Amino acid sequence: MTSNSQVAAQFSLRAVLALGAACVVVGFSLFPLYIMITTALKSESDIFSWPPTWTFEPTLQAFKNAFLLFGGQNVLVFLFNSVLITAASTVLAVGLGSMAAYALARFPFRGSKHLAFFILSTRFAPPVAFIVPIYLMFRSVGLIDTHLALILFYTSMNLSFVIWVLRGFFADIPIELEEAALVDGYTRWQVFLRIALPLVRPGLAATAILSAVFAWNEFLLANIITQRDAATIPVYLSGFSASMGIAWGEYMAVGFFAVAPIMIFTLFLQRHLVRGLTFGAVR
Amino acid sequence: MSEVRFSEVSKRFGGASVFERIDLTCPEHKYLCLLGPSGCGKTTLMRLAAGLESPDEGDVMIGGRRVNDLPPADRNIGMAFQNYALYPMLSVRENLTFPLRAPVRRRAWPESKINSRVDDIAQLLRIDWLLDRPIATLSGGQQQRVALGRALIRNPPVLLLDEPITHLDARLRYEMRAELKTLHAKLHTTTIHVTHDQQEALAVADLIAVMNAGRIEQVGPPVEVYRNPNTAFVAGFVGDPPMSVVRMPLRATEGCLQIDFGGRLLDLPEKFSQAFVNTVPPALLIGIRPSSVNLVPSGSPAPIPARVYSHEMVGRELQLMLSVGDSLLRYRSPDIRHFAVGDEVACDVNLDNARLFDAETGVAIII
C-alpha cells in the first residue's frame, strides 16, 4: 500500500532530480557565455592570472577598446553590416520562400514533386566547392565587398531550406479553411496572406531563426568576398588572431556583440514555435 | 433569381470519371438534398456550384447566368463545410465578420452595418453569448452554428451545405434538422444540402436528388422518393429501414405469374401482370417493405423458411434481417421478442405493396 505521504515524497524526489538535471544542463550551456562576459569585463592581469580569479574588479576597458580604438575601426560598423545583411536575407528568404512553398503545396502540376526535390538538391553541394565560381561571378558584376553580394548569397542558400520546410507546413493546413475563405469572397492572394500565413506562423518562426543564424554566422564566403565595406562580425572576429597575439578582453567583448543579437532574436521568435495552432479548426 | 442548374455537367479527376452529363435543377427558394452513399459524387457536384471545382463539360448556371468561369468569391454563395472549417486563429465574432470584411465588400458593408448584422445572425442561431470566444473552445454543435452563421451572414441568395450536421451527436442532429428547416422557412434561401443520411434528407428537403455511382437515380419530393422509388438503388437506400431489394426468379405457370421465393412459389398480384403481357423476364428485383414481411407460426400453411441473420432492438420496435435462400429480408415489428442469430423462423411475404424493378437495369417497372 502506498500512503499519500509516500506518493508526495516520491513526487518531490522526482521533482528534485529533474530540477537538478535541468540545472546541470543549463549550467553547462551557459558557462561559455559566462566566461565570455566575465573575460570581457576583466582587466588584462585578471584574465591571465592562474588559478583563474572568480572575483575581480570589473572594467569596461575592453569594451571601450573594441568600440573606439581597437583595429582602428569601430565594431559598430561590422555589427551594422551583419544586422543589415542578416535581416535582409532572412526577410527575402522567408518571404519568397513562403510564396514558393505555398505554390508547391497548393498547385500541384506535372513534375512539381521533382521541382521540390530539385530545390532541395541545391543545398547538397558544400559551399566550399563553389566558392571560387561564386567569387568570379560576383567580381564580374562588380559585387565584391558589397552588402548585396552577401544578401543574395545567403538568400539563395536559405531559400531551398525555407521552401522545403514551409511546403510541409502549408500542406498540413486543412484545405477547407482556404476554400471557405475563397467562398467568403477573398482572392487567392488574400487567402494566402490572411489565412495561410497566420496558420504557418510556427514554420515562419523556425525558418526565420535558422535562416538568420546561418546568415549571421556564415564566415567562409564573407571572408573571401568582403574586405572592409561589407565585412560582417565573423570576419572582424577572425582578424583578432593577427599581429601581436590575441587581445582576449577585446575579443570577448566583440564576441558578446556577435552572440547577443542573434540570441535575442531567437528568444523573441521562440514563443511562436508552438505547434498545434490549427487545433480545433476542423473535425 | 437564384435557381441553381447543372446542365450536362461532367467531372473527371485524372482519368477517373466522377459523373457524366448530369442534369439537375434546384429551383429558386427550394431546399434540395443531394443524397447518396459516400463516393457517389454528390459533394463534387456541389463543389461545382461553389466554384471550388470546375466542370470538364457542361454548364453550371446560377440565377440563369453561366458561372463556369467565375471564381468562388464572385458567385455570391454561402457555404458551410462538413468539418466546419472555422478559422482557428479568429474569435467567433471575427469568423462571422470575415465574409463581410472581404476587400471586395468594403463599400457594401461599412463598420456600423457589420455590427448590427453580426448581432442579428448570432441571435438567429443563438450564439450571441459565444461571440468573443476563441473557436477551439466551442463544442461541435456550437461550431456548426458558427459555420452556418458565417455562410448566412451576407444573406447569400444560394446556400450550400456539405454534410452540415453529420458530425453532431444524434440528439443534436435531430434538433439541428428542425432548425435548418425553420431557418429555410424564414429565409427562403435556395439551398443545396449534401448528405448521406436518408432520414436527414427526408426530414429537411423540398426536393431530394438521390445519387449513386455518379448517376442521379431519382429527383423528387421526399414523399415521392420514399413511396415510389424509381430504381432498385433508391428502394434499398431510402427508408428506415429501407425496402429489401431481392432478386427472384419469375415463373409463368398456367397464365399466372409466380415468384420463386426460397423454394416457395408466391403468386404475383394481379395488378402487376399487365406489365408482363408481352415478355416474361427470367427474374425480377423486388422491393419489399419491412412491414410487408410477417412472421408466422411454423405450422401455418406453406410458410417461407427463413433464418435470423441479425437482430436489433431499436427502442420502438424490433428489427430483424432474415435470410431466405440467398437473399436477406428486413422485418420490423412493434412486438418485441427475443431472437438469437441462427434461429429458424417461418415468414410470409405480402407482395401487394411490393415494387418491381428490371433485374438488368434496376429501373422500376411502372404499372
Ordered by start, the domain boundaries in chain A are 4-59, 65-270
What are the chain A neighbours of B82 within 8 Å (beta carbons)?
Answer: 176
Tell if the CB–CB gap between B140 and A180 is shorter than 8 Å: no
The residues, ordered by sequence, that sit 6+ positions from B160 with a Cβ below 8 Å of its Cβ are B46, B49, B50, B77, B78, B79, B80, B151, B191, B192, B194
Contact B229, B243 (CB under 8 A): yes
Best A184, A187, A195 member to test B by mutation, with max B CBs in 10 Å, is: A184
Residue-wise pLDDT tens digits, B121-150: 998 888 889 999 999 899 888 998 999 999
What gap in Å lies between CA B231 and CA B245, rounded to an integer? 10
Dihedral sign for Cα atoms in the order A40, A46, A48, A51: negative
Please list the ranges in chain B whose pLDDT falls under 70.
none
Nearest CA in chain A to B99: A184
Cβ contact, residue pair A281, B85, below 8 Å: yes
Query: Which residue in the set B77, B89, B104 is minimally distant from A199, CB to CB?
Result: B89
Alpha-carbon distance of B350 to B345, in angstroms, equals 17
Q: Which letter does DSSP use for residue B340 in this model?
A: -
Contact B102 A282 (CB under 8 A): no
Phi, psi (deg, nearest 5) at residue A240 = -70, -30
pLDDT in the model for residue B24? 95
β-strand partners of B57: B10
Task: Give the type of residue at B25.
Answer: T
Model pLDDT, residue B29: 94
- Residues of A with CB below 8 A from B150's CB? 180, 184
Nearest CA in chain A to B134: A280
Domains detected in chain B: 4-229 (3.40.50.300), 244-358 (2.40.50.140)
Q: What is the dihedral of CA B88, B92, B96, B99, to 10 degrees?
A: -30
Chain A residue with Cα closest to B50: A183
Secondary structure (DSSP) of B237-257? HSBTTB-EEEEEEEEEETTEE
Q: How many CA atoms lie within 13 A of A9 on its CB side?
A: 5
A199 touches B at CB < 8 Å: yes
Q: Is A272 on the interface with B (CB under 8 A)?
A: no
Distance between CA A237 and CA A223 in Å, rounded?
Answer: 11
Residues in chain B: 367
Output b/e per residue, B147-184; b: 16+ Cβ within 10 A.
bbbbbbbbebbbbbbbbbbbbbeeebbeebbebbeebb
Q: Which element (helix H / strand E) includes B357?
A: strand B355-358
Q: How far is CA A198 from CA A203, A226, B89, B102, in A?
A: 10, 37, 8, 17
- Put simply, the answer to whether B71 touches A187 (Cβ < 8 Å) is yes
- The residue among B98, B105, B172 with the most chain A CBs within 10 A of its CB, best to mutate, is B98
Please state, in angstroms and rounded to a whole number, the distance separating the CA atoms of residues B224 and B49: 26
State the helix-helix crossing angle for A147-172 and A75-106, rounded to 10 degrees: 40
CA distance A195 to A174: 11
Q: Decide if B71 touches A, using CB distance below 8 A.
A: yes
Per-residue pLDDT tens for B294-351?
888 877 777 888 899 999 988 888 999 999 888 899 999 888 888 889 888 888 888 8
Question: Could you give the CA distance from residue A239 to residue A254 in angstroms, rounded to a whole number?
Answer: 11
Work out the minimum CA distance from B135 to partner chain A, whole angstroms. Answer: 7
Cis amide bond preceding B27, omega within 30: no
Which pLDDT does position A244 carry in this prediction? 62
A281/B135 touch (CB, cutoff 8 Å), yes or no: yes
Residues in A closer than 8 angstroms to B135, CB to CB, are 280-281
Q: A65-270 sits in which CATH class?
A: mainly alpha
pTM of the model: 0.82
For position A53, what pLDDT does the model report? Answer: 78
At A71, is the secondary structure helix, strand, or coil? Answer: helix
Would you say B232 and B277 are in contact if contact means Cβ atoms under 8 Å apart?
no
Are B346 and B301 in contact by the 8 Å Cβ rule? The answer is no
What is the Cα–Cα distance from A237 to A73, expressed in whole angstroms?
Answer: 12
A193 touches B: beta carbon within 8 Å: no
pLDDT at residue A276, as a whole number: 42
* Residue B88 to residue A199, Cβ atoms within 8 A: yes
B272 touching A, CB under 8 A? no
Q: Which residues of chain A have pLDDT under 70?
A: 1-10, 68-73, 241-244, 274-283
In this prediction, residue A69 carries a pLDDT of 58
Q: DSSP 3-state assignment of B91?
A: strand
Is residue A19 within a helix (H) or strand (E), and if so which, with residue range? Answer: helix A4-41
Kindly tell me the sign of the dihedral angle through the C-alpha atoms of A99, A102, A107, A111.
positive
Task: Inspect the interface and report whether the beta carbons of A279 and B88 lie closer than 8 Å.
Answer: yes
B276, B257 in Cβ contact below 8 A? yes
Nearest neighbour of B85 by CB, restricted to A174, A277, A279? A174
Which of A185, A195, A283 is closest, CB to CB, to B73?
A: A185
